[in-house]
Amino acid sequence: MGKSKNFSGQPIFNQLIKFIDKREIKKIAKQHGAERYVKKFNTYNHVIVMLFVAFEGYHSIRETILGLLANAHKLSHLGLSYLVRRSTFAEANQRRCSQVFGDIYMDVYRRHGSNLADSRLSDADLKRLYIMDSTTISLFKDILKGVGRNPKEGKKKGGIKAHTIIKASEHVPCLIRYSEAARHDHMFLEEVLSLSPGSIITFDKGYVDYAQYEVFTQNTIWYVTRLKDNALYKARKEFDIPDNADSGVLKDEEVTLQYGDKREKEHRARRIAYWDSENERLFEFITNNFELSAEKIALIYKKRWQIELLFKQLKQNFPLKYFLGDNENAIEIQIWTAMLANLLITLVRSRLKRKWAFSNMVSIIRQQLMNYIDIYCFLEDPEGSWREIVKENKIKYQNSLFPELEGAYF
């Protein structure tokens, strides 16, 4: 029987990490002094082992070491020449700066992110749209400050919050910052100033900060969010609603939002009341953009749901319930690794013509991670090898005395 076209000289894992530039890892490690006092378990080895944990879904260091031992004869393909000890691995997670992993993620994103843009997105306004939100990863250890009261029994529930910005056309984070779960979301708004002038960003009303909104206006960055229920504002001017406007637009007006210690400052904004007939719900949007139609403003906010889907995707496929370390640095390394694993699989998915559910791809990769399968050939045509086998069996049995066995090799 001939060799399957799905066969590869490299394990699937090796094909995934080809998006990572080993030379850049060395540069990043040098910038952070990450190789100081390191003999064998360098930054590259650390990244590969952490990705092995994420892809395989391991829950402990012991489980990770056993998994590496089971695949010892294949590790050379990954550039690993050293099988890390449990104590060395645990110490590296505690001591090697987590931002090293963050910079590696951003390097891969900058090099390959342009390949993720959705070519079907023709709307120029949506192409410059960013979405911001945060997700909290719960911890039952006193690593970071928790939220709420101390429980009568057990440990205080703490957490780490991942503040994230994604481009609406790419579906992967382009900026990530971490904080204690108790820290308010609006503290992250300053990061928006890193966006180019003319950018549009949408976020929920948890990010309310009128002073920062005013800075956005001064920097020509347009925001779309919801108005808080207790917001103080003054109506200045009502705009006409075009006859051809969406029937959900109830009001479009200019307002001033009051802020400051004595409410002495004002921010000029636009308030849009919109009735969502599908969900039978009234929305009040505010924005500093007076050019886009009210319908477009509503559509932009609706796109915010994409980041919720991203968080759901991450938590379903790379669940952060078990941590390999009990300090803040080790946990951040594990979160960055989950983000990087998500990015690598998304890059593979972007190169395929065949449409795949992300969770199905993760399941296949997890099952076959160290097998010698061409991931692209297989995912484009999973039934291809089976058809080849059936075809060969037909030839094999065409002159057989037992034609009923034709195609029934298995």
- Confidence (pLDDT) at 102: 97
Report the amino acid identity of residue 386.
Answer: W
Average pLDDT over residues 65-74: 92
State yes or no: pLDDT of 147 exceeds 50.
no
Mean pLDDT of 119-145: 75
pLDDT of 99 over the 80 cut: yes
Q: What CA–CA distances, in Å, run from 362 to 8, 171, 260, 357, 367? A: 19, 16, 49, 9, 9
Q: What is the pLDDT of residue 188?
A: 86
Strand partners, 5: none
What is the per-residue pLDDT for 153? 53
Name the pTM for this structure. 0.86
Q: Residue 400 — pLDDT band, cuts 50, 70, 90?
A: low
The whole-number pLDDT of residue 319 equals: 84
- Mean pLDDT score of the chain: 87
List, in order, residues 6 or more apart from 217 with CB less than 8 Å away.
267, 268, 288
Encode pLDDT of 240-291 as tens digits.
988 777 778 999 999 999 888 888 889 999 999 999 888 889 999 999 999 9
Q: What is the mean pLDDT of residues 174-179?
A: 90
Pairwise CA distance, residues 202 & 127, whole Å: 13
Higher-scoring residue by pLDDT: 43, 188:
43
What pLDDT was estimated at residue 26? 95
Q: What is the SS3 assignment for 271?
A: strand
List strands edge to edge, sheet with 265-276.
173-180, 158-167, 129-139, 200-202, 222-226, 281-287, 265-276, 249-259, 233-238
Calculated CA dihedral for residues 270, 191, 94, 22, nearest 10 degrees: 120
**Inter-CA distances, 162 with 12, 184, 277, Å:** 29, 12, 33
Pairing of strands 281-287, 265-276: antiparallel
Residues 101 and 25: their CA atoms lie apart, in Å, by 9
H/E run at residue 349: helix 328-350
**DSSP per residue over 5-42, as a string?**
TTB-SS-HHHHHGGGS-HHHHHHHHHHHTTTTT-SS--
Q: In this predicted structure, what is the pLDDT of residue 123?
A: 78
How many Cα neighbours within 13 Å face the side chain of 202? 24
pLDDT at 146 over 50: no
406 pLDDT more than 70: no
| Alpha carbons 48 and 279: distance in angstroms, whole number | 45
The pLDDT, as a whole number, for residue 139 is 66
C-alpha 65/C-alpha 51 separation (Å) is 13
DSSP states of 366-378: HHHTTS-B-HHHH
pLDDT digits (tens, 9 = 90+) for 329-370: 999 999 999 999 999 999 999 999 999 999 999 999 999 999
Q: Residues, the chain, total?
A: 410
Report the pLDDT averaged over residues 26-54: 93
For 215-237, the DSSP string reads HHHHTT-EEEEEPPTT--EEEEE
**Bridge partner list, 238:** 253
% of the chain with per-residue pLDDT over 90: 61
DSSP for residue 190:
G
Q: Which amino acid is at 224?
A: V
Whether 174 shows a pLDDT value over 70: the answer reads yes
Cβ–Cβ under 8 Å, residues 307 and 242: no
Q: What is the pLDDT of residues 181-221, one digit of tens each?
A: 767 777 789 989 999 999 999 999 989 999 999 999 999 99
Residue 92 φ/ψ, nearest 5 degrees? -65, -40
